[in-house]
Amino acid sequence: MAELNQVRIFRIEEKKKQYRSSLLFLKIGVLALFLLVPFFSPSFKTLDVAMNIVIFSVLVASFDILLGYTGILSFAHGMFFGIGAYSVALLAGKYGNPSYTMLIAGIVLAVAIACALALLISFLSLRVKAIFFAMVTLAIAELAIVLATKLSGFSGGEDGISLNMPGIFSLSFSMGHVWGTEIGGRLLTYYLILFSCVVLFLAMLRFTHSPMGRVLQAIRDNSRRAEAIGYRTFIFQTASITFGCAIATISGGLYAMWVGYVNPESCLGVMTIMLDVLLMVIIGGMGTLYGGIAGAAFLKIAQTFLPDLQNLTKGLFPHAALLNSILERWLLLFGILFILVVIFFPKGIIGSLRDYRTRRA
């Protein structure tokens, strides 16, 4: 009997090793894909989709730290994304010259403001019930949109703020072509943001796999039990909110660097930012971090390329009026895809795959 148990344990350990090695190859493959996208498909549209997936993967993962790992629903997470974007745009665009110093100062200032605001929100709202905390954060997010719109002399209002990248990251900079791809400011900005997002994602992985991350999951599962064994849940939840909001703020600054333009709707809007983030978390899987990559890829690719199906089908099937009429409403197709994902992956793509692997072990 003991020998059978040893054999079983050995097989389980072997399966775990195989899973870890295959997962490592998958991670390397995904990273290599993003590294080589500019050379495989140098068009701006493809590059923009890839960059949006990278940035929103970090934003969604930072939101997953709050929702999936700590059990806190905050509708103000998009506001911190906007704080990062506006801080960089203001310092490197409207009130300062585009320079490396101003970009770094914009990020540092945004993180400082975000941490102070996250602490304030936590101390004022975290002790109430979860639904009231969500409503308070929603009110704060709406207030941020109103301020950004009304204070047009400072924030640019609905017209927004434009900024240019400095030095080798400017659009005018060029080092020639390699394999038909221009090595210029746009491409260097792409790799700068990609590298920054990889570092941020590794920091979030380290945070969630640390003892603090395990305590946060215990608080999420049963906060009263966590308090009973001696953990000060308020302190841990505050640390989680502050860390997640700081990461979201940096991702907003990176987004402003890539787009070169910010306005209230694109960077602070609850419907444009938070709704997308919530959908990405649900599609990818809560409490996984990697689900942010899957959810961001699904949503951004669908939003970008589903509208193009209309022109494609009109060329292939010019007399299929019903089909073309359906494809004109591409949001209907997206809704169908979302329903299928929820049905076949009830815990999100990554969460359901993890459950399947656990059952097979």
Nearest 5°: CA angle at 154, between 163 and 77? 75
* One domain for residues 190 and 332: no
Run of H or E residues at 219 = helix 211-221
Q: What is residue 113's predicted lDDT score, i.e. its pLDDT?
A: 93
Between CA 176 and CA 36 the distance in angstroms is 17
Show the tokens assigned to 79. Answer: 């506001």
* One domain for residues 280 and 148: yes
* One domain for residues 354 and 273: no
Looking at every residue in the chain, the average pLDDT score rounds to: 81
* One domain for residues 89 and 184: yes
Q: How many structural domains is the chain composed of?
A: 2
Between CA 127 and CA 232 the distance in angstroms is 12
What Å distances lie between residue 277 and 61, 102, 270, 293, CA to CA? Answer: 9, 29, 10, 11
Between CA 327 and CA 209 the distance in angstroms is 44
Closest CA to 79 of 87, 71, 69: 87
Containing structural domain, residue 196? 44-289
H helix count then E strand count, the chain: 17, 4
The distance from CA 195 to its chain's CA centroid, rounded to whole angstroms, is 15
Residue that the structure tokens 């103000």 belong to: 76
126: in domain: yes
Run of H or E residues at 178 = strand 174-178
> pLDDT tens across 22-76, in order?
667 778 888 888 888 888 877 788 888 999 999 999 999 999 998 888 888 888 8
pTM attached to this predicted model: 0.88
* One domain for residues 100 and 236: yes
Q: What is residue 360's predicted lDDT score, i.e. its pLDDT?
A: 64
Name the more confident of 63 and 316. Answer: 63
9: in domain: no
- How many C-beta atoms lie closer than 10 Å to residue 231's C-beta? 16
Name the more confident of 336 and 145. Answer: 145
283: in domain: yes
CB 67 within 8 A of CB 241: no
111: in domain: yes
* One domain for residues 217 and 165: yes
Burial 8-26 (b: 16+ CB within 10 A, else e): eeeeeeeeeeeeeeeeeee
- Residue 179 pLDDT > 80: no
> pLDDT tens across 91-131, in order?
887 777 778 888 899 999 999 999 999 998 888 777 666 67
* One domain for residues 330 and 185: no
Between CA 111 and CA 268 the distance in angstroms is 16
> pLDDT tens across 152-167, in order?
888 887 888 888 888 8
248: in domain: yes
* One domain for residues 213 and 108: yes
Show the tokens assigned to 89. Answer: 């745009």
Q: What is residue 196's predicted lDDT score, i.e. its pLDDT?
A: 93
Run of H or E residues at 7 = helix 2-40
* One domain for residues 272 and 235: yes
Pick the last residue of a domain from 242, 259, 289.
Answer: 289
35: in domain: no
